[in-house]
A and B are shown apart, each in its own frame.
Chain A
């Protein structure tokens, strides 16, 4: 570590101490990871492992602080000045928004392997025990009398993956006929009795209020729900095809340079790709980008299915998909028409 970085670190520590927040004698460095909601458990385990790894490598003690919230709201907080060293959000579009504000380089996706996504997930169905309504694939969601629980993609980042998963299915089923795709996806949303504003709200509606026959959920959330509530009441149905949800990670250049934490922040993200990091990822129900590194019993949980990515020509990447589907007047808005 260069002398200058060290100096900057000390200066940063003093600055922080001046505000009376953190910085104890033992904490050489603090790192703030601004993340979205369902990663709490993952990063709790990972932060511990990383601190040990950093200590072993450099002899320094690093304290990692976590901030969790809705992905879009977290992005706005960083844009508005939250001193995040790294962001680990749900949507590429949210980190792009931070990049637009100039806090990190526009090519952030190329700086880490696999488009800066050390873990992925997908959208699966959580159904009531025994799957009484026999829901196995997306076309079961449009049937009469099926109630589907999913949040509003306008207000929930995770819900956008749900919407796109349905869209990808319909694209395949109708050979790209846009009118039919819209009708199909619209029919799913007409079976939605409650459009919550966030993913956890939808889980509560489905689990606690016992509304609906199927919850569209992130795979890691579905596993977590099974863990918390016991497998006696619910089961997971993995459809034959779904979308590859890629929650990306990035170092926030402007903040790490100001705080002198670039080295540790970069290592924090790189270590996610190591065998040890991938093991923790798999144990916390995210799909590791290198499945070979995961413990075999964790790896076998993840059913093989056909996964469509956001960069597939169907969507053409976030920069295109976001305005086409979720902006004012986009395909999602077109679903709801008066008197329906």
Chain B
């Protein structure tokens, strides 16, 4: 039923102003989002298909894309698990310093990314506080892909917490209690009651964290080491192309990143609507 309704362009509504607001929304989206993207694609199109293809399949570009997207996915997954636990703790329990902890969550948002990168490098370098503890174990964090992962986890955390938190706050405990009185065991309650409610915001948070991590430059560049084929991220290759005044090459890498990101986000959105439908059926 819902799917059919969504397909219809206009649903009779008692609220006026549909035409005006839709027009505004489209104009706004075109100006803010679509226009710059169009310029991006037009600039990269200047190379023609063969030029575009040569840059997009260059082994070094492919390696950088793998580093960027692989680590971003991994960081978003880690944050999905631990961010969810943080959100759970913040919502469900009362303890001294809870509000302070709550305020700290947003720090990775507020900190300029370069500052975050330098701070993380100082801590995780072999002579830093944490790095010195890990060095005897043979674990190197700064200047390795692991360092990039640490930076991406750092900047991605608020996205998961802040999307899951309000939904969790709205989730009535009575529902869980009702499930228990109806004979559901704890695991069943989690599976049938809590997870279906939290999955959509979790996927949203995951998508946001992923998108942010893929484009991240400032914090990563200091901790990455930037060794080609090992710890070189795609945004750095874009900067390198720009210093060569090669705008077409830079936008080509950007376009490839955009296409991959778009496909990933589309996939996440599909998952989300699928999970929402599953929930309304259940």
**Could you tell me which A residues sit within 8 Å of B by CB distance?**
72, 152, 154-155, 192-197, 201, 208-211, 326-328, 333, 336-340
Assess the B227–A192 pair: CB atoms within 8 A. Answer: yes
Assess the B225–A209 pair: CB atoms within 8 A. Answer: no
Which 8 interchain pairs have the tightest Cβ spacing?
A: A336-B228, A209-B125, A195-B226, A154-B240, A210-B127, A194-B225, A338-B59, A194-B143
Assess the B244–A328 pair: CB atoms within 8 A. Answer: yes
State the CA gap A333–B243 with chains docked (Å): 14
Pick from B126, B228, B246 the residue with the most CB of A within 10 Å. Answer: B228
Assess the A327–B243 pair: CB atoms within 8 A. Answer: no
A211 with B126: in contact, given A72-B243, A155-B239, A338-B59 (CB under 8 Å)?
Answer: yes
Assess the A196–B126 pair: CB atoms within 8 A. Answer: no
State the CA gap A282–B262 with chains docked (Å): 57
Sampled A-B contacts (15; CB under 8 Å) = A72-B243, A152-B226, A154-B240, A192-B227, A194-B226, A195-B228, A209-B125, A209-B126, A209-B142, A211-B125, A211-B126, A211-B143, A327-B244, A336-B229, A338-B229
User: Can you add 5 more A-B contacts, CB < 8 Å, to A197-B221, A208-B122, A336-B229?
Assistant: A152-B226, A154-B244, A193-B225, A197-B236, A338-B60
A-chain residues with CB within 8 Å of residue B59 when the two chains form the complex: 337-338
Q: In the complex, which residues 239-259 of chain B have their Cβ closer than 8 Å to any Cβ of chain A?
A: 239-241, 243-244, 246, 249
Assess the A209–B121 pair: CB atoms within 8 A. Answer: yes
State the CA gap A196–B60 with chains docked (Å): 18
- Chain B 104-132 interface mask (CB, 8 Å, partner A; 1/0): 00000000000000000110011110000
State the CA gap A258–B178 with chains docked (Å): 81
Distance from B216 Cβ to chain A, minimum over Cβ atoms (Å)? 15
A-chain residues with CB within 8 Å of residue B265 when the two chains form the complex: none
B-chain residues with CB within 8 Å of residue A194 when the two chains form the complex: 143, 225-227
State the CA gap A327–B246 with chains docked (Å): 10
Number of A-B contacts (CB under 8 A): 59
Nearest CB to that of B121 among chain A residues? Answer: A209
Assess the B63–A338 pair: CB atoms within 8 A. Answer: yes
State the CA gap A52–B239 with chains docked (Å): 42
B-chain residues with CB within 8 Å of residue A339 when the two chains form the complex: 229
**Residue in A193, A201, A327, A336 whose CB lies within 8 Å of B60:** A336
Distance from A201 Cβ to chain B, minimum over Cβ atoms (Å)? 8
Distance from B228 Cβ to chain A, minimum over Cβ atoms (Å)? 4
A-chain residues with CB within 8 Å of residue B236 when the two chains form the complex: 197
Distance from B167 Cβ to chain A, minimum over Cβ atoms (Å)? 41
Distance from A324 Cβ to chain B, minimum over Cβ atoms (Å)? 14
B-chain residues with CB within 8 Å of residue A208 when the two chains form the complex: 122
State the CA gap A193–B142 with chains docked (Å): 11
B-chain residues with CB within 8 Å of residue A327 when the two chains form the complex: 244
Nearest CB to that of A201 among chain B residues? Answer: B222
Assess the B225–A155 pair: CB atoms within 8 A. Answer: no
Distance from A249 Cβ to chain B, minimum over Cβ atoms (Å)? 22
Distance from B144 Cβ to chain A, minimum over Cβ atoms (Å)? 9
A-chain residues with CB within 8 Å of residue B225 when the two chains form the complex: 193-195
Distance from B124 Cβ to chain A, minimum over Cβ atoms (Å)? 10
State the CA gap A340–B230 with chains docked (Å): 9
Assess the B249–A328 pair: CB atoms within 8 A. Answer: yes
A-chain residues with CB within 8 Å of residue B143 when the two chains form the complex: 193-194, 211
Nearest CB to that of A193 among chain B residues? Answer: B143
A-chain residues with CB within 8 Å of residue B229 when the two chains form the complex: 336-340
B-chain residues with CB within 8 Å of residue A210 when the two chains form the complex: 125-127
Assess the A154–B243 pair: CB atoms within 8 A. Answer: yes
B-chain residues with CB within 8 Å of residue A340 when the two chains form the complex: 229
Distance from B119 Cβ to chain A, minimum over Cβ atoms (Å)? 13
Q: In the complex, which residues 189-243 of chain B have their Cβ closer than 8 Å to any Cβ of chain A?
A: 221-222, 225-229, 236, 239-241, 243
B-chain residues with CB within 8 Å of residue A193 when the two chains form the complex: 143, 225, 227
Nearest CB to that of B118 among chain A residues? Answer: A204
State the CA gap A328–B227 with chains docked (Å): 17
B-chain residues with CB within 8 Å of residue A195 when the two chains form the complex: 225-228
State the CA gap A201–B224 with chains docked (Å): 12
State the CA gap A99–B249 with chains docked (Å): 24
A-chain residues with CB within 8 Å of residue B246 when the two chains form the complex: 328
State the CA gap A52–B226 with chains docked (Å): 46
A-chain residues with CB within 8 Å of residue B121 when the two chains form the complex: 209
B-chain residues with CB within 8 Å of residue A197 when the two chains form the complex: 221, 226, 236, 239
Nearest CB to that of B62 among chain A residues? Answer: A338
State the CA gap A130–B121 with chains docked (Å): 27
Pick from B221, B236, B244 the residue with the most CB of A within 10 Å. Answer: B244
State the CA gap A326–B243 with chains docked (Å): 11
A-chain residues with CB within 8 Å of residue B128 when the two chains form the complex: 209
State the CA gap A18–B227 with chains docked (Å): 49
B-chain residues with CB within 8 Å of residue A154 when the two chains form the complex: 240, 243-244
Distance from B162 Cβ to chain A, minimum over Cβ atoms (Å)? 31
Distance from B3 Cβ to chain A, minimum over Cβ atoms (Å)? 46
Pick from A155, A194, A211, A340 the residue with the most CB of B within 10 Å. Answer: A194
Pick from A155, A209, A333 the residue with the most CB of B within 10 Å. Answer: A209
B-chain residues with CB within 8 Å of residue A337 when the two chains form the complex: 59, 229
State the CA gap A72–B245 with chains docked (Å): 11
State the CA gap A201–B226 with chains docked (Å): 12
Q: In the complex, which residues 33-82 of chain B have their Cβ closer than 8 Å to any Cβ of chain A?
A: 59-60, 63
State the CA gap A208–B246 with chains docked (Å): 34
Nearest CB to that of B143 among chain A residues? Answer: A194
State the CA gap A59–B200 with chains docked (Å): 75
State the CA gap A311–B155 with chains docked (Å): 47
